[in-house]
Amino acid sequence: AATLVKKLFLSGKMVSINQEITFEEAEEIAIEYEIIAEHEVKVDVIKELLKEEEEDASTLVKRPPVVCVMGHVDHGKTSLLDAIRETNVTSHEAGGITQHIGAYVVEVNGEKITFLDTPGHEAFTSMRMRGAQSTDIAILVVAADDGVMPQTIEAISHAKAAGIQIIVAINKIDKPSANIERVKQELTEYELVAEDWGGDTIFVPVSAHTKEGIEQLLEMIILTSELVELKANPDRNARGIVIEAELDKGRGPVATVLVQKGTLHVGDSIAIGSAYGKVRAMMDDKGRRVKDAAPSTPVEILGLNEVPDAGEIFIATDTEKEARAISETYISQGREKLLEDTKAKLSLDGLFSQ
Ligand code: GDP
Ligand code: MG
């Protein structure tokens, strides 16, 4: 530590032993000590990952919540996602081209909500396994005539492990055998306690069939997202996650991505795991061509050299060369190793404790 403090002092920076230094300062020292490999590319990857933590609060602006639907099979996840989509479709869109891109955006009183259109936990779990957080709020669907079931419990533990907000939608309240209070009572066992039971979990009784309660559910999502103050910096290279991807016969590799930070533009170079390319065209969830995609926006992109994996992280780069180099580094080193190396090298604690 003394050596480092001295080094910084000699380059004109007065720092104390437990003071934070900038990435550039750390990088300068690390390169000198050959702690960071000569590989410029790797440094760029590391920098990208570091930016996660480094975001300056003044650059952050409000972004829409990203919501997923979870729950036991047959409790109505697909029906609920359809009902929400339908309530929001404007008349000229109704019956028209509702393209499926794995996510869609609804607007409630001028506020947007992004829904991940992949019911079940598969996508969610695979993203989690990659260490990517895709969702802000989980709608836990519980059928009022069936109550808490094994996959309900599984969904609760997934959401809790990921630290995401849970809103309970008690579905199928149109059924004569529906028992809302029983669902509330059963969920108290999992620390999801309704307000009228003395807790602070939001419960909304709904029917995907009659659409009762859907508007209220959407309002509760907006309310919850305002409480947790979701923000992102829109003015930086985009970064996000692949929701789904496939090889299209006519269009080549097509990926639906969720932009989480920054803004993705047509013409941007991007790296996604072992895939890379230049965004040739972008379509929003309504199938319209768009030029830019801000944080929390799902878009379908064309222009990749191969089909990336769902759950993979994408990074927009300044040049195509850089994107290609990142994907090559990824292929040659393997993602796990890259992340491991990065973590080890970024640990300044590790440096100081020697
Ligand atoms: P998922 O497996 O959770 O995606 O459930 P689905 O959306 O496929 O629904 C399972 C079954 O429940 C289907 O037969 C739906 O028509 C039915 N269902 C879903 N929502 C409701 C509802 O609000 N009321 C009634 N009566 N049936 C529903
Ligand atoms: Mg389903």
pLDDT in tens, 8-61: 888 888 888 788 888 778 877 776 765 544 445 455 554 555 455 567 788 899
> Is 255's pLDDT higher than 50?
yes
| Contact status, residue 133 vs residue 68, Cβ threshold 8 Å | no
> Cβ(209) to ligand 1 under 6 A?
yes
- CA 31, distance to chain mean position in Å, is 33
Q: Single out the residue of 182, 167, 174 nearest to residue 211, CA to CA.
A: 174
Q: Whose CA is nearest to atom 24 of ligand 1?
A: 172
Strand 165-171 to 137-143 pairing: parallel
ipTM of the complex: 0.99
Strand 275-283 to 289-290 pairing: antiparallel
Rounded Cα gap, residues 64 and 70, in angstroms: 19
Q: Whose CA is nearest to atom 14 of ligand 1?
A: 74
> Cβ(77) to ligand 1 under 6 A?
yes
Mean pLDDT within 261-290: 94
Rounded Cα gap, residues 228 and 136, in angstroms: 9
Q: How confident is the model at residue 284 (pLDDT cuts 50, 70, 90)?
A: very high
Q: What are phi and psi of 242, to 5 degrees?
A: -85, 125
> Cβ(135) to ligand 1 under 6 A?
no
Host H or E run for residue 264: strand 264-265
Ligand nearest to the CA of 81: 1
> Cβ(211) to ligand 1 under 6 A?
no
pTM greater than the 0.90 cutoff: no
